[in-house]
Structures are given as C-alpha cells and as structure tokens.
Chain A
C-alpha cells in the first residue's frame, strides 16, 4: 500500500505561502506527475521544459524555493544551468533527477540530493520536504 501523497506538513515560506517548487524536465509525463504529486502534497509548483524557460521562471517573483532538475536536459549543460539558476534564485535549493547515479560527477554537486529515475512520488515528496525544512518557517 503506497502512503498517501497528502499526508505530512507542507513547509511554507516566511510569507506563510506554500513552498514553490520549480520542476525542470524535458519529459512531459515527468513534469506532470511531479507537479501534480507535489501539488497534492500541498506545494506550489511551476514547470519548465528547457533551460531558457527555466531561467525565465526562476527570475520571476515569487522565486522558487527548490528546483527539481533533470541531469540530462536536452540541449543544455547541467553545470552551466545550475550556476545560472543559482544566480537567478540565490536562496533556492536543488534536487537533481538522473537516470544513472554513476554518471553524476561528485564534487560540484556536493550536498545536493540526487534522485534516480524512475522514482516513487512519495520519496520525491519526502526529499523535497527534507530539503526545505531548515530554510522555511513552519
């Protein structure tokens, strides 16, 4: 029996709004399932299918509190995109989604949680909560 996506407390920002998650992936079903699953869990979500779109969204207020980022986004370099996103939303946290843990270069992403695809939505919700917990007012 899969635990419900609805249980558990949703971290909120200082303005008491639900935390905003930016989902960047070029697979539409990945975006849809993560977005719907995280909304069911009480988060505010926004999606992007390319690095250009992701940067536009990240620069707009309200900035995302956390980004779920595909490690092999079509046509973009992970390291460059990560750096640009950090500049666009300096307080933002990152979770990387990858199809192969082995291909992840270690040092630059130290401290960033990595989730392997295919994932369980409950695990994603748990990881997002854990990453936001220290930064958010409860």
Chain B
C-alpha cells in the first residue's frame, strides 16, 4: 500500500474511533499527551487542563491502590488491560467508564505510549447498583418481618404476664417499680423492632398533591412537643409549594429532620426554607449547631450508623428510604458559618387541571 493511503486509512480509523469512544493517549509515565472531545466532555475539563497531567486528575479514589498497581503492572509489561473505572469529573460528579488500555510498543518491545479507549457506562452502573440495592432491601425486608414476628410474639407474652403480676393486690411496692421498669424496657425494645421494620419494610407511598407548609407546621408542633420545647424555636418561611408526595411519610421525614436539628447543640432558631425551581421543590432545614465535623455526611444516611448514645442509627436511613420512595432526594450539607442544612427535594405536583 502506498504510504499516502496508509496515512489516510489511519486518519480515518482515528476519526471513527473518536466518534465511537472516549480516547486518551499518555506517554510511558502516564502523562496525558492527547485527549479527544468526548474525553473533555465527560470529564468536564478543557483540553488545556488535561494535557500534561496524569490520570490522577480524574481519580475518584474509589479503587484500592492494589487495583491501580495491577493495572500499571499489566500495561508496563506490554499487555492490554481491560476493566471498569470510576472517575471523578471536574465538577465533582462521578462517571464510570469501561476501559481498554493498549500499550504501544517500540521496536525493543517496551511501551512508549498508552492508548486508552473508554466508553461511558455510568447509566448501566447506576441501574446495576439500584438493582443490587433493591435485592438487598427486599431480602432485608423479609428478614425483618420474620425477626419482628419472632421477637414480638414472646415480647407480647412477657409484657402481658408482667402486667398481670403487677396487678396482683398483694404486690410489694418495690417489686412493682421493678416490673414497671421491665415493662418500659420491653417497650423500648419493641420500638427498636418497629424502627427496623420501618426501614426494611416501609409501606408503599400513596402519592397525592400536598401543600408542604401545613405539613411543616404540623411536624414542627410534634417536634416541639417531643423535644419538650426547643430553645431557639423554629422559624418557617411564608413561602410554600405543592409537591407530589405521601403526606404521612413527608410528615415523618420532616419530624425526623427537625428533631435532628433540635439536637444540633445550638440555641439559635432552626430555619425552614421552601423554594421551587424547575419543577422541583426544595425544603431546607437549617441549624446553627456544631455541624458534622470530619464525618462524611453521606455516612450518616447509612443504616446503623449513629452518633447518639441512644437510638438505632436508623433515623436518617429511614428518612432517605421514605424520601426515595416518593421520588425525592435528601442530602446533608454544611452551613456556611457553622451548622448543617438538610436539603429535601420532591417533585412539584402537576398543576390542577
């Protein structure tokens, strides 16, 4: 083949590859020497920002060091590496790429550059994760139901029997106090079982158009009653929105978030702000407390993670479960100047026809 034709063919292959994939070339040290437009688009970095850097710029920190070392060992030996990588874009968002790294070898068989061809599998990964989560939750739900029955049935027998013994006319007053304490412990135990059931097996939401303000006011009154009065009180903004939600679930979520805010260790009022943007309603519950320190706020949503002495560590996990059942999101953000913001978003209700 004449050399001109070979060059043209290579150009065409490169054009086709750029259309099909996310492409990068690095030198043997891993310094990026070429990226195509797709690489820039998915990583949200400009070409100028990427060239001369190594791939640590998009490292998400997800993969263990051994995994990355294995990758390098493979390609440094001149072998092709294939795998799935989780990367972080410039704006902090996460994307997954199915990756093939091909070492390009010099005449002496040593890699002098690496060609990385990737395709975006973020959506597939999200679906896989969702399915895995659902399967795990379904199993947990079944487990919780069985455990709840196995625990509550004897609990009912013990509590009832204690109540009978307590009602005996000849009972010693001191013994009566002990029995009262036993009964109250059994109630605590039962509440923990209830919490586990609420997390593992919530009922299906009944979605309706719900005006958030009355629900916030209602949850606020319950929070004040439960906390026995709140130091700085709760300030709710005038604005409101109509969302698509399950009223009772929304109330439970707000109550939980307000009670959390009450325990933030501040005497400043808790603020509740309602805003609406592009079909989504955001409810911010803001405290001026101690915030979360070094803790990653996402960890606080993990089941059985607790920072409190009492409690099952299921409060925020239940909140997230109930919110996602209603098609919403919940995140905790640090408040500028100290404290925390719990941001709940829910889809706005379609306008009444």
Contact = CB atoms under 8 A, between A and B. Distances in A.
A127 interface: no
Given A33-B157, A100-B149, A5 B190 contact: no
A72 interface: yes
Interface range, B side? 20 to 34
A48 interface: no
Interface string B69-99: 0000000000000000000000000000000
Given A97-B156, A117-B153, A119-B156, A102 B203 contact: yes
Contacts of B186: 118
B148 interface: yes
Nearest to A115: B156
Contact of B160 (A2, A29, A103): A29
Interface in A19-73: 27-30, 32-34, 36-37, 40, 70, 72
Contacts, number: 80
B161 interface: yes
Nearest to A120: B163
A4 to B, nearest CB: 7
Given A99-B148, A103-B145, A118-B190, A27 B154 contact: yes
Interface residues of A, number: 26
B164 A33 contact: yes
Contact of B155 (A4, A5, A36, A118): A118
B213 interface: no
Given A29-B160, A29-B161, A37-B163, A117 B155 contact: yes
A4 B163 CA distance: 10
**Taking chain B's interface residues, is the majority helix, strand, or loop, or is none over half, making it mixed?**
helix
A121 interface: yes
B153 A37 contact: no
A34 B160 contact: yes
Interface in B130-145: 145
A5 B161 contact: no
B152 A37 contact: no
Interface in B149-175: 149, 152-161, 163-164, 166-167
Given A33-B164, A36-B164, A120-B163, A100 B145 contact: yes
Contacts of A36: 164
A4 B154 CA distance: 23
Which of A5, A6, A34, A99 is packed against the most chain B CB atoms within 10 Å?
Answer: A99
B161 A27 contact: no
A119 B187 CA distance: 10
A97 B154 CA distance: 13
A30 B167 contact: no
B157 A100 contact: no
B197 interface: yes
A62 B157 CA distance: 27
Contacts of B166: 2
Interface of A: 2, 4-6, 27-30, 32-34, 36-37, 40, 70, 72, 97, 99-100, 102-103, 117-121
Leading 4 A-B pairs by shortest Cβ distance: A29-B157, A33-B160, A117-B156, A99-B152
12 contacts: A5-B167, A29-B154, A29-B158, A30-B153, A32-B164, A40-B164, A70-B153, A99-B149, A100-B152, A117-B152, A118-B158, A118-B160
